[in-house]
Amino acid sequence: MPIIPFKKFLAVFLAAVVLVTLGNTAIPVAVSADSGEQVTYFITSFEAGEGNMLESQLEENRVKNVGFVADVGRLVGDVTYLVRSDTLSGSPDYKPEEGKHNLFDYNTGSKFLTAMRPTSQNPVEVVLELEQPVKVVSYLIASANDESGRDPVAWTISGSNDRNTWTLLDNRSGVTFSSRQQKKTFEFENTTAYKFYKITITQNNGAPMTQFSELQLADRRQPGIGTDYTGLVDLDSLSGSDDFKPEESKPMLFDHNTFSKFLTNKKPTTNDPVVVAFRMKKPVPVSTYIIGAGPDELTRNPKSWRFEGSQNGTNWVTLDQQFGIVFKAEQETQRFTFSNQTEYSYYRIVITENNGAPMTQFSELQLYGAAEEQTPGEDDSDINSPMKTRKSRGPAASFNTLTSTGWTGWGALEVLGRHIGSQEAYCYNVIYDGLSIPVTKNTRLSYVFFPALYNPNDYDFDFTSQHMAVDLKFTDGSYLSELQAKDQNGTIVSPHAQGQSGILAYMQWNHIYSNIGEVAEGKTIEKILIGYHKSENPSGEDKVFLGYFDDIVIEDVPEVEYEHLSDYVNILRGTNNTLMYSRGLTTPLVTMPHGFNAYVPMTESKSTLPYYYQLAGTKTKLRHMGITHAASPWLGDWGTWQFMPNTSININDVTRGDDISADKRAADFTHANEVAKAHYYSITFNDGSAASGVKMEVTPTSHAMYARFTFPANSANRNLIFDCEWASGGLTFNSDGSFTAYSDHIYGHGEYSPNRVNGATRMYIYGVIDQNYEDAKVVNSKQGIVSFGSGTTVVTMKLATSFISAEQAKKNLELEIGTNDTFDTIFQKAQKAWDDQLGIIEVEGATHDQLVTLYSCLYRMFCYPILYSENIGTAENENWAYSSPYSGSLTSPNVKSGKMYTINGFWDTYRSAWPAYFLLTPTMAGEMLDGIVEHYKDSGWVSRWLAPGAINCMVGTNIDAIFGDAMVKGIKFDYESAFAASLKNSAVVSNDINKGGRIQTVTSIFRGWTSTSVHEGFSWGMEDTINDFAISRMAEILGRTDEAEYYKNRALYYVNYFNKDLGWFMARNDDGSFRYSRIEDFNPSAWHERSYWDYCEANAWNMSFTAVQDVQGIINLYGGKEKAIERLDNLFNADLRGQDVGMREMREVRLGQYNHTNEPSLHLIYMYSYLGQPYKTQKYVRSVLSRCYAGSSIGQGYLGDEDNGQMSAWYVLNALGFYTPSVGNPEYVIGSPLFKKATIHLENGKDLVISAPNNSRENIYVQSVKFNGKEY
């Protein structure tokens, strides 16, 4: 088994080389860049004004087994996608997220709301511009989700070609909407193509505000649909076949939503039909009805039925009868029309046959009156592909990105089709033709792609919609998809290869770019295509595929090789998130290694996720730059303060805080004008924004920073704005150009949870503005604006902070930014510090994207923990002190001597981050451990989470594991105090678990388990055994033999959680019984409340091999190696269909129940090495490295939370080729090195070199290992 003892690893204190020979056989045993300029040949983001795009045009009959999908919720002849959302005008939006743009997103779940009650003299108006003039003859209006009083009642529609002269086209009054999100369609005569249209609402239903959810436009009459009677169904009168469950009941048939459904546990026959009967609120003459297929299981759909009417609910008249109807796709709608002029009070549908399933379902039953005579509209003869490719407003639903926009702007290309049958299917559509783009050796194709779930609530584990890609046709007749061009992830750029890669993530944007010059140099591009291609459809049932493309760019991009390693760092990785779906949940920190402060660009106000990467629609602004001490989005921030340049505000108009609030100062920007590095952040704001043309730059020291603002010569105003958004504060401008401020933001969520404190005290700020200013003003006691004269174009500002005092803040500035320092000298010092830190590791054979990932992960790892102390001495004679997070008060800190470190959650970081510190920076690791021990000396405990003081978060006193691992590996720090802290954690009953100690200590250390009576008790208990093992190792090193033996025995308590009758580790009750006694009651996939909260961030699968301190013991419990391998194989190969998935991100890992989005799984891959199958370790390591850290270029980079350097450290160690699955054991286990050569510059001046010269994406299996030239 390829395991290297740590002492031998460190014996590499002589220059050592580990030679790893890789091959593509699974073994089942133990530069100078070429000069050039960037040239853009083609770019489209499918926005208004971008013409010449072809819609749904098939490429030379390149189609097989792809079918058409009928539109759901769109008018025939829809032209809504031509609306320019960037030029909308009219009545003011009530708030940005309820703006006019929502009217054109094909989504009745969003809406336009304005704070107006319209009248003829003061109407509500929406004025829209189309990309090109269109002869609109019909339109759809939908009510919003609530408040029927806000519905429009009377309005006019007008058209114009100059926005000045308007022609009245339609006039409506007395319109009522009988239900929420109800759609109504209207038609009018029109023979003129207008570029501008306007709806003028003169009456609503009586509310002081007006709203509606949709305004769709079409250039043809709507066939065969009369008055919509669906809203007149009395839902209280529904009767018939039983509902399968309340959320799949008969009322769902009348909600105009094909994602919901009625399901009944019955297969109908002629003698025993499925029936849905109902009364109308008033008699109506139904002559058309629409039935919608269910969102899944086509065999459950109705096949034969009768539609009947009645005046009394007893005597029924058959109005229509259908036989052999087939729905070819989920949510497909079919319309049925019959002759009827009788107004019936009751209607029912009697289903006598379905398509074979034991249950019956359908999604819609819409009722309509007779349609007026229709004038035939234009046909679709210009559309010749079964796969739709057309402009749209982007996805209507997403896991973690904006909806109803493109990746940028408002528009995106929609792709919609159906994979028919089980065999291979493909279709290629041309979207741009007649091009003549030369391909050079540096030509790059780039685009973003959003693979969508047609039903967002039904995850597709066949990944159908991911099998799409941009393709290119060259003048020689060849296609890019045939040339084996590879993207930044090493995946071939073809629809089939992209779908098979396992890298694309559903329901979010994915960035793909490829240097196509490597395979197509000398060719000429004539067409751009979109392709779908999948070799099979395992389910056999037709599958709808849906996706969106945006920002297709073809350009020459010279190869880049940076002189400074710090330039590979991208601090924006992990910032494109929501709290419901994480791609890292990181904060982009401009800081020094383990720096006291960090400085953050903020697109959000008062948010624990201060920076959101995607810029689209109305969300395109930076609100300010801020000082931060962000610990985690779940724990929040503390010690914050903000500043921002501005050109739009006249200081004389400022009389209150709202005049310079974040809403007023926020300024538009693009990522193209942003540089985001650890040592330097710069941004140039868009012309015309609130900081028009201003360039802002920031560079850090540990306790201070320097900022530079460059204003255009023609700026209307030249301002700096200061704020303290989260909490109360103060600001004073001094006559010498300095200023002082303070922030009382002492806990993550600030004023929203003022009683939750974590030991933080007031933060003091001292700053100096280097240039003279004309005026300065303080408003609201804590906000300020500084205005500079017209001759000033460059303003520099330096500031520092302190938690001790205002005087200390000034001293910190003087210590770290000298009188001779400038912005540029501080920049150079910061860059050198990061270059030195990152330069510990150098690699060869890495792609540019791999270098960005590696060094960005190293950066993220070295951000934490942070220094919490300040030098109250001098530069020559340092004297470190800190504001105690365990005593003192907000304004009267208790200043104590010592060097304290903080911001760390040990549950996360003990597994990878701290082992990485021990190897890469052992001296600094020792200092940081002493800084953690300082918490014990100050408070008597070391809590599970520190930020800056104790926080009650996660389970297990895992600082014990860190201390033990450090001592085993020879890290120098205060062993005795660390051991004392760990002993207290493990043996003393805590009277406040928030501050430290273990849960249920009073009983668990005697009976041998933590019970189900406490939250996440199983995870608490298993972590206790790992920590007890570490304490036993500490005791051995300190010569405490009794303690060593005692804790070694306690480390074996993990066996008490193994239910030998069921063969699983599981929780135990207070009386000693297991949570489950019958295997049929036990679901190892269960998460959260479904597992009764036994596990922390895990389920029973994830906890199958947790006791890494005794792998052989686990093997024995499972009944031997083969049984243990079987359990591990089942874990990695588990089919998640129908299984409980605790986190949506886990599905994108695609390794069964292995969950690389959270810590409890991170060692599992290496269990194969302990079980004699290292080739599986190697396979899975490379799979995770290549797939779970993708997306660096668009704010992704992780699946799940990054967790203070933990997930980054896992990448770093595994990319080097080894890992520490069992902390406290002095060993590393070899995985599969990612690079051909990696060099670790050890602290003693020697190098550890890992060489794998034949490394490739295919050669991943270790064939042999040599250590210093000798077989190992």
Tokens of 308: 């009947």
Q: Report the length, in residues, of the chain.
A: 1272
Q: Name the DSSP letter for residue 831.
A: H
| DSSP calls for 63-91 | EESEE----SS--TTB-GGGB-GGG-EES
186 in the same domain as 134 = yes
pLDDT value, residue 1266: 86
* Segment 956-967, tens digit of pLDDT: 999 999 999 999
pLDDT value, residue 379: 41
578 in the same domain as 710 = yes
* Segment 434-492, tens digit of pLDDT: 999 999 999 999 999 999 998 887 899 999 999 999 999 999 999 999 999 999 999 99
CA–CA dist 1181, 1218 (Å, integer): 10
C-alpha to C-alpha distances, 12 to 15, 912, 970, 1141, 1220, nearest whole angstrom: 6, 21, 14, 44, 17
* Segment 187-209, tens digit of pLDDT: 999 999 999 999 999 999 999 99
Q: Name the DSSP letter for residue 465.
A: G
Which of the two residues, 442 and 630, has the higher pLDDT score? 442
Tokens of 159: 């058209």
750 in the same domain as 666 = yes
pLDDT value, residue 47: 87
Query: In 3D, which of 179, 1060, 231, 924 has the Cα closest to residue 593?
Result: 924
- Is 1227 within the bounds of a domain? no
pLDDT value, residue 30: 31
197 in the same domain as 161 = yes
- Is 1139 within the bounds of a domain? no
C-alpha to C-alpha distances, 508 to 67, 264, 313, 408, 577, nearest whole angstrom: 25, 34, 49, 13, 10
Phi then psi for residue 974, to 5 deg, are: -80, 90
Q: Which DSSP helix (H) or strand (E) runs through 520?
A: helix 517-520
- Vertex 420: Cα angle to 419 and 424 (nearest 5): 70
- Is 658 within the bounds of a domain? yes
pLDDT value, residue 753: 41
Beta bridge partners of 763: 743
Tokens of 1174: 């290292």
Q: Find out whether 214 and 183 touch, Cβ atoms under 8 Å.
A: yes
Going by C-beta distance under 8 Å and a sequence separation of 6 or more, which residues neighbour residue 668?
620, 621, 685, 686, 688, 689
Q: Name the DSSP letter for residue 702.
A: S
Q: Provide the percentage of residues in the chain whose pLDDT is more than 70.
A: 95
pLDDT of 653 > 80? The answer is yes
C-alpha to C-alpha distances, 749 to 758, 901, 917, 1050, nearest whole angstrom: 11, 22, 31, 39
C-alpha to C-alpha distances, 512 to 117, 490, 911, nearest whole angstrom: 48, 10, 32
SS (H, E, C) 1037-1098: HCCCHHHHHHHHHHHHHHHHHEECCCCEECCECCCCCECCCCHHHCCCCCCHHHHCCCCCCC
430 in the same domain as 300 = no
289 in the same domain as 420 = no
Query: In 3D, which of 816, 510, 759, 456 has the Cα closest to residue 629?
Result: 759
**Look-up of token digits 């070819």:** 328
Q: What CATH number has the domain bearing residue 946? A: 1.20.1050.60
269 in the same domain as 237 = yes
pLDDT value, residue 376: 35
Instruction: Compute the mean pLDDT over every residue in the chain, rounded to the nearest whole number.
Output: 92
99 in the same domain as 191 = yes
User: What confidence tier does 752 reach under pLDDT thresholds 50, 70, 90?
Assistant: very low
- Is 451 within the bounds of a domain? yes
One-letter amino acid identity for 1039?
G
Which of the two residues, 559 and 159, has the higher pLDDT score? 159
CA–CA dist 1191, 681 (Å, integer): 20
User: What confidence tier does 50 reach under pLDDT thresholds 50, 70, 90?
Assistant: confident
Q: How far apart are the first and last CA of the chain?
A: 10
Phi then psi for residue 538, to 5 deg, are: -55, -30
pLDDT of 380 > 50? The answer is no
User: How many other CB atoms sit within 10 Å of the CB of residue 206?
Assistant: 11
pLDDT value, residue 20: 64
pLDDT of 1229 > 70? The answer is yes
* Segment 872-920, tens digit of pLDDT: 999 999 999 999 999 999 999 999 999 999 999 999 999 999 999 999 9
pLDDT of 378 > 90? The answer is no
**Look-up of token digits 């159908």:** 464
User: What confidence tier does 375 reach under pLDDT thresholds 50, 70, 90?
Assistant: very low
Q: Find out whether 690 and 665 touch, Cβ atoms under 8 Å.
A: yes
- Is 539 within the bounds of a domain? yes
> Which of 556, 584, 603 lies at the terminal end of a domain, its last residue?
556
Radius of gyration of the chain from its Cα atoms, rounded to whole angstroms: 33
User: What confidence tier does 601 reach under pLDDT thresholds 50, 70, 90?
Assistant: very high
pLDDT value, residue 15: 41
> Which of 556, 577, 602 lies at the terminal end of a domain, its last residue?
556
- Is 21 within the bounds of a domain? no
The reported pTM is: 0.86
Question: By CB neighbour count within 10 A (0-12 exposed, 13-18 middle, 19+ buried), where does 247 fall?
Answer: exposed
* Segment 201-242, tens digit of pLDDT: 999 999 999 999 999 999 988 766 677 899 899 999 999 999
User: What confidence tier does 635 reach under pLDDT thresholds 50, 70, 90?
Assistant: confident
Q: Name the DSSP letter for residue 371.
A: P
pLDDT value, residue 224: 60
579 in the same domain as 508 = no
**Domain total for the chain?**
5
pLDDT value, residue 756: 45
Please, how many CA atoms are within 13 Å of residue 22, restricted to the half-sphere of its CB? 25
CA–CA dist 483, 516 (Å, integer): 9
1017-1037 and 959-968 helices, crossing angle to 10°:
30
648 in the same domain as 690 = yes
Residue 786: strand, helix, or coil: strand
- Vertex 55: Cα angle to 111 and 256 (nearest 5): 35
921 in the same domain as 1022 = yes
- Is 1119 within the bounds of a domain? no
User: How many other CB atoms sit within 10 Å of the CB of residue 1123?
Assistant: 14
pLDDT of 1 > 60? The answer is no
> Which of 492, 526, 556 lies at the terminal end of a domain, its last residue?
556
Q: What CATH number has the domain bearing residue 398? A: 2.60.120.260
pLDDT of 307 > 50? The answer is yes
Beta bridge partners of 389: 415
* Segment 945-956, tens digit of pLDDT: 999 999 889 999
- Is 887 within the bounds of a domain? no
Which of the two residues, 419 and 33, has the higher pLDDT score? 419
pLDDT value, residue 748: 59
User: What confidence tier does 384 reach under pLDDT thresholds 50, 70, 90?
Assistant: confident
Q: What CATH number has the domain bearing residue 667? A: 2.70.98.10
391 in the same domain as 359 = no
* Segment 984-1017, tens digit of pLDDT: 999 999 998 988 999 999 999 999 999 999 999 9
* Segment 539-550, tens digit of pLDDT: 888 899 999 999
**Look-up of token digits 């052989």:** 1112
Burial of 446-478, coded b for 16+ CB within 10 Å and e otherwise, reads bbbbbbbbbbbeeebebbbbbbbbbbbbbeeee
Tokens of 741: 């401020």
Q: Where are the alpha helices (DSSP H) in 611-727?
A: 662-665
* Segment 1146-1195, tens digit of pLDDT: 999 999 999 999 999 999 999 999 999 999 999 999 999 999 999 999 99
| DSSP calls for 205-217 | SS-SSEEESEEEE
Structural domain for 513, as ranges? 43-56+386-556
